[in-house]
């Protein structure tokens, strides 16, 4: 069976309307396999859908994960305000299978799911325009605000210890020790950079443990291409990639977003001398996020926002470096040493933010509400 025939067969399991026309790979996520599927009606009018093969090596309890998404999306749909809808903001919507389930498991054990395609909107991997980041911050802030009363204990942890930075460092040390591909010698400086910051990196995890910051329902993967922005108005249209929605910290979401959009170059850019904090983008995202979510945050959360940006960037660098040492099993790579390039980039960003912590704090203070 060709890939196209396989996709067509999978599509036939879902309640898509019309006749299958085509399926093509879509987006540049690092985890799942995503396809844009087109169906046509009798007049050849096309309707698009998103079809995804969930990465079940990453998400081991795929059934529990799909239950999380079902519950969270239906809750969000009941909470979204008329004003938000009027502004074009929408909730990601699952499309059921013909057997009325939210996923289809094929005979090779792969899990497939489908979503309504959000039209005329884009998830930007690198946003040039600061206003886009204001809109992205507002959308992620609104998302978290809408979930602020959701019972966190009813959600499963789709990846155990996902943002447990203490555990992430343990994994790095294990990978350095095992060094299965003899890659450690090539990145001694990066390993040292990370390990010298191990103590500070545990601040958020310890803060949750001690109750200094509250546990909330959070997105946990607030990379900037996980919010679709309207192609015409630039406004936030839909928060996507809900696989990691689970109990977490608001600081994870803020910090991870700054990690992904607050630098002058892309996540895998190699010209590190050009990598600086882009304060215009930093401020735009912060303003949007705090306008939507600031009222919910405690003083301790507000205080730790800039530190969270540093910690989440460090954590991601540690994850890229660990994956590089282990043989690139987790993140999709598109060139040689891709994960090492990404790790170096994240660590340079950490270094820059450490030098700019005072300026970042001043910006937070401007929007403290």
Length of the chain: 369
DSSP letter assigned to residue 334: S
Task: Give least dist CB 260 to Mg ion, A.
Answer: 10
The least distance separating ligand GN1 from the CB of residue 223, rounded to whole angstroms, comes to 5
Sign for the CA dihedral angle at 95, 96, 102, 104 comes to negative
List contacts with Mg ion (CB under 5 A).
29, 226, 241
Phi-psi region of 18 (alpha: psi -120 to 50; beta: other; left: phi over 0): left
CB of 185 to ligand ADP, least distance (A): 32
268 binds ligand GN1 (CB under 6 A): no
DSSP letter for each residue of 218-239: E-S---GGGEEEETTT--EEEE
Q: Which of residues 134-173 bind ligand ADP (CB under 6 A)?
A: none
* Residue 223 lies near ligand GN1 (rule: CB under 6 A): yes
Nearer to Mg ion, 304 or 330 (CB): 330
Nearer to Mg ion, 203 or 220 (CB): 220
**C-alpha to C-alpha distances, 243 to 45, 67, 129, 130, nearest whole angstrom:** 31, 10, 27, 27
List the one residue from 7, 14, 23, 27 that touches ligand ADP (CB under 6 A): 27
Site size for ligand GN1 (CB under 6 A) = 13
Taking CB under 6 A as the rule, does residue 142 contact ligand GN1?
A: no
Q: Kindly provide the b/e burial profile for residues 28-56, where b requires at least 16 CB atoms within 10 angstroms of the residue's own CB.
A: ebbbbbbbebbbeeeeeeebebbbbbbbe
**Judged by CB under 6 A, which of 7, 29, 184, 252 binds ligand ADP?**
29
Q: Is 59 in the site for ligand ADP (CB under 6 A)?
A: no
- Rounded to whole angstroms, the Cα distance separating 179 from 94 reads 41
The only residue of 16, 23, 34, 165 in contact with ligand ADP, by rule CB under 6 A: 34
Q: Which residues bind ligand ADP (CB under 6 A)?
A: 26-27, 29-32, 34, 50, 92, 115, 117-118, 123, 225-226, 228, 240-241, 243
């Amino acid at each position: 069976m060709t890939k196209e025939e396989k996709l067509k067969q999978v599509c036939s399991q879902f309640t898509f309307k019309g006749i299958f026309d085509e399926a093509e790979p879509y987006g540049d996520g690092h985890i799942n396999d995503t396809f844009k599927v087109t169906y046509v009606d009798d007049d050849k009018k096309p309707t698009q859908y998103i079809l995804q093969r969930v990465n079940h090596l990453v998400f081991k309890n795929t059934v529990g994960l799909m239950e999380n998404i079902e519950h969270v999306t239906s809750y969000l749909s009941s909470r979204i305000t008329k004003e938000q809808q009027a502004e074009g903001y929408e909730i990601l919507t699952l499309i059921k299978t013909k057997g009325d389930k939210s996923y289809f498991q094929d005979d090779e054990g792969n899990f497939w799911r489908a979503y309504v395609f959000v039209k005329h909107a884009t998830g930007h991997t690198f946003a040039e325009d600061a206003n886009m980041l204001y809109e992205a911050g507002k959308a992620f802030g609104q998302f978290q605000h809408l979930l602020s009363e959701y019972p966190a204990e009813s959600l499963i942890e789709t990846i155990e210890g996902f943002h447990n930075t203490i555990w992430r460092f343990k994994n790095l040390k294990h990978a350095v020790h095992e060094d299965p591909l003899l890659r450690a010698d090539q990145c001694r400086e990066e390993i040292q950079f990370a390990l010298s910051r191990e103590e500070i990196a545990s601040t958020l995890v310890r803060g949750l443990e001690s109750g200094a910051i509250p546990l909330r329902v959070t997105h946990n993967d607030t990379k900037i291409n996980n919010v679709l922005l309207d192609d015409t108005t630039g406004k936030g249209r839909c928060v996507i990639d809900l696989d990691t929605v689970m109990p977490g910290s608001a600081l994870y979401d803020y910090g991870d977003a700054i990690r992904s959009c607050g630098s002058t170059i892309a996540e895998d850019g190699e010209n590190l001398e050009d990598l600086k904090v882009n304060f215009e983008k930093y401020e735009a995202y912060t303003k949007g996020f705090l306008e939507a979510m600031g009222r919910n945050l405690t003083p301790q959360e507000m205080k730790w926002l800039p530190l969270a940006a540093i910690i989440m960037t460090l954590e991601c660098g540690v994850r890229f470096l660990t994956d590089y040492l282990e043989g690139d099993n987790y993140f999709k790579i598109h060139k040689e040493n891709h994960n090492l390039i990404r790790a170096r980039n994240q660590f340079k960003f950490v270094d820059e933010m450490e030098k700019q912590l005072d300026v970042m704090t001043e910006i937070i203070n401007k929007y403290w509400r």
